[in-house]
A = this chain, B = another copy of it.
Amino acid sequence: MTGDINMIIVMKPGASEASIKNVKQIVENKGLQTHISSGQEVTVIGVIGDKSKLEQGNIEIAPEVDKIVPVTESYKLSNRKFHPESSKIKVGNTIIGGDEFTIMSGPCSVESEEQILQTAFAIKKAGAQILRGGAYKPRTSPYAFQGLEERGLQLMKEAKDATGLNIVCEVTSLEAIESAVKYVDMLQIGTRNMQNFYLLKEAGKTGLPILLKRGMAATIDEWLNAAEYIMAEGNPNVVLCERGIRTFETATRNTLDLSAVPVIKQKSHLPIIVDPSHATGVRDYVAPLSKASLAVGADGLMIESHPDPKTALSDGPQSLTFDQFEELMGELKTIAPLFKKTL
């Protein structure tokens, strides 16, 4: 047998010779090989070669096919199997991955020059490396504040120039990408756009590092396939961000899936950070989950902070004050060395 079994086709008990032959032909017509194991009742057919030639499983409806079992993953570039060493991604003058524990912070939305500058100085002083701030806001209701758009990007750039922080902004359209590339060090793809494949490709083409948030209903497999869209454009600079998934629990806005960190570390070489602010929607839970993120092996955090959370135009309830942020940073700096991370 040359080549590997990439997919297994299980026939129904007692499947006819004709049905087995039919499946064999479908597979071989695509230029692939088969490897057949026949039992008394059940026949199992291994598919050898590039299974993507078979596309998504029409064999499932060939007569007497019981099920199709994929043996190998569909993502390649983001797969640790083919890239055993952990990646480090350069974002402006800082690095994400390896021994670094990178802190991104700032307001959900850029609201004014004063707000963003105040924030930038405060988080810089506390030890953050990257300023975040939303200029294009995907909001559930069309009647909610939608962001300052390009003016927001300009204010972010101003804050970068004033503090030396690197900046990351979410983009939600090609237009937003075209504006953002003029200002930012890293583009963010938000949870609602994780499977906006058009946007992924366009973001990939910029060559800028991409912060790819997990879709709130995306499996880890789909998430890595989304990363694959960016990387397939020739852009290896992807950082993943776990931000909570949708479940039945309502005590938190979403359910932060910290298990995703060791899972990603095993399946992929890409760095992964955690956003406890959006995951929980509750300020009091941000500090404990930040420490847990460090302990579980994440490469950094995205934490919302705001000069005056109670007046924030969006997501105030989950934003830390500067005092709270500084206190948390102090705690993280104390514990980071125990987890072999530099902060």
B-binding residues in A (CB < 8 A): 1-6, 8, 10, 13, 26, 35, 37-42, 44, 46, 48, 52, 55-62, 69, 71-72, 74-75, 81, 136, 138-146, 172-176, 192-193, 195-199, 201, 215-217, 219-222, 225, 228-229, 232, 245-252, 255-263, 266-267, 279-280, 283-285, 288-289, 291-297, 309-317, 319, 334-335, 338-339
Contact = CB atoms under 8 A, between A and B. Distances in A.
Contact of A338 (B42, B138, B316, B335): B335
Contacts of A8: 8, 44, 69
A22 B235 CA distance: 41
A37 B39 contact: no
A142 B248 CA distance: 22
B61 A310 contact: yes
Contacts of A72: 42
A267 to B, nearest CB: 8
A42 B258 contact: no
A32 B292 CA distance: 41
7 contacts: A37-B37, A57-B317, A58-B312, A59-B310, A141-B225, A216-B217, A251-B259
Contacts of A3: 39-40
B40 A4 contact: yes
Contact of A62 (B38, B81, B217, B310): B310
A121 to B, nearest CB: 22
Contact of A284 (B197, B266, B294, B338): B266
A222 to B, nearest CB: 6
A292 B259 CA distance: 10
Contact of A252 (B75, B138, B255, B263): B263
B141 A75 contact: yes
Contacts of A1: 37-40
A311 B81 CA distance: 28
A219 B250 contact: yes
A61 B316 contact: yes
A141 B74 CA distance: 7
B259 A259 contact: no
A295 B291 contact: yes
